[in-house]
Structure 1
């Protein structure tokens, strides 16, 4: 009997075309694959969802929310690159997670998140690297019943952090990203292996 490969859903809390967090999330997906994991990178721009509203929910779960729910159900972990807007997480990230946490069909509220792992990174063109929003993102993920890995990666000066191939210029930062990805892959292997 072969076990189903554990998979990580990777995305950024930004829909912007040139998003540094989207670039970091894409790199993380590649690194997870290189370290023996299975990653699925998605762009939330491809899944536009209305602002969460129970009146909308009462009319039926929006199609893109259903697509995101199906994706999350197939994965055992999430890897999120969280931008920082005025010291907080983005409305896009909060709204996406709010929709995914709703009860639907036979799945209770938070049911899609139960037993799953989460890893978190943040990139910013400034010197703080998104660290002000990081504790809020960690708290939100923990509130959703995710097991959040410690030691998230913060990437300051991200506008000049990537080379032409999408890798990080700084070797030490690249090693920190690899270490976080490896901890996630190892945690999944121990839990689901």
Structure 2
């Protein structure tokens, strides 16, 4: 373990090299074949992986979780729900895309998130402090905006640090190229910006302890202020 003296001699490049990559869990609330929201998520995952994050897609349909029922929870808590909750507890960020069903998230997504509030640990353990970004697309003009706002509120209530983006893209039939990439330039730029913001916030969460070392290392250093005044960094 390095001493405070050694840490104080580290360059900014050394600090950056020591940062951990944020781990992002990616979820899609749709299980429809050819889902537009899955295509949207795929584009986001590519951007996250290419820009300093590690991204893990969890297929909610593959979990085969039963519809949440307190009686089932008391009788035998599903192993898949336990593993899903562990993944959420361990991650630094969430990237979620979901279609809008009557202004809300899909039953598939709601059921999975509900199971994640149960079991070992507290109700908020799977979410508190985790950065989250929500996006949606649909053929309609609003693009699933009501769902985005609703899910953002849900995640915020659960303790997530919700990135305040409004990535809801209408005209889903014309949004993607044949290879699944996003055709619309403005939409693609919005997705990249949202992903960059998520990486920025999740990186801080992933390196919370390491950030304390940085503060400790720079304490006492001299910096040049306005008009040439020199003062200590506190």
Q: Which of the numbers 88, 91, 109 marks the counterpart of 2:123?
A: 109
Q: Which residues of 2 match residues 37-48 of structure 1 at below 5 A?
A: 37-48=53-64
Are 2:117 and 1:98 aligned?
Answer: no
Question: How far is 1:60 from its partner?
Answer: 2.1
Question: How far is 1:4 from its partner?
Answer: 4.3
Q: Which entry has the higher C-alpha Rg, 1 or 2? A: 2
Q: Which of the numbers 14, 38, 48 marks the counterpart of 1:32?
A: 48
Are 2:145 and 1:127 aligned?
Answer: no
**How big is each residue's C-alpha offset from its partner over 1:27-71, in whole Å with a ceiling of 9 and x where there is no partner?**
111111112211112221111111111000001211221221232
Instruction: From the two aligned structures, give the one with the greater helix fraction.
Output: 2
Question: How far is 1:103 from its partner?
Answer: 3.6
Unaligned runs of 5+ in 1: none
Which secondary structure state, in structure 2, belongs to the residue aligned with residue 24 of structure 1?
helix
Are 2:161 and 1:147 aligned?
Answer: yes
TM-score where L is the length of structure 2: 0.77
Are 2:175 and 1:164 aligned?
Answer: no
Aligned alpha-carbon RMSD (Å): 1.5
Which residue is equivalent to 1:186?
Answer: 200
After TM superposition, what 4+ stretches of structure 1 lie above 4 angstroms from structure 2?
1-4
Following the alignment from structure 1 to structure 2, what is the Cα–Cα distance between the partners of residues 191 and 48?
30
Number of residue pairs the alignment of both structures matches: 191
Following the alignment from structure 1 to structure 2, what is the Cα–Cα distance between the partners of residues 115 and 86?
29
Following the alignment from structure 2 to structure 1, what is the Cα–Cα distance between the partners of residues 115 and 57?
19
Which residue is equivalent to 1:9?
Answer: 25
Which secondary structure state, in structure 1, belongs to the residue aligned with residue 168 of structure 2?
strand
Unaligned runs of 5+ in 2: 2-17, 208-234
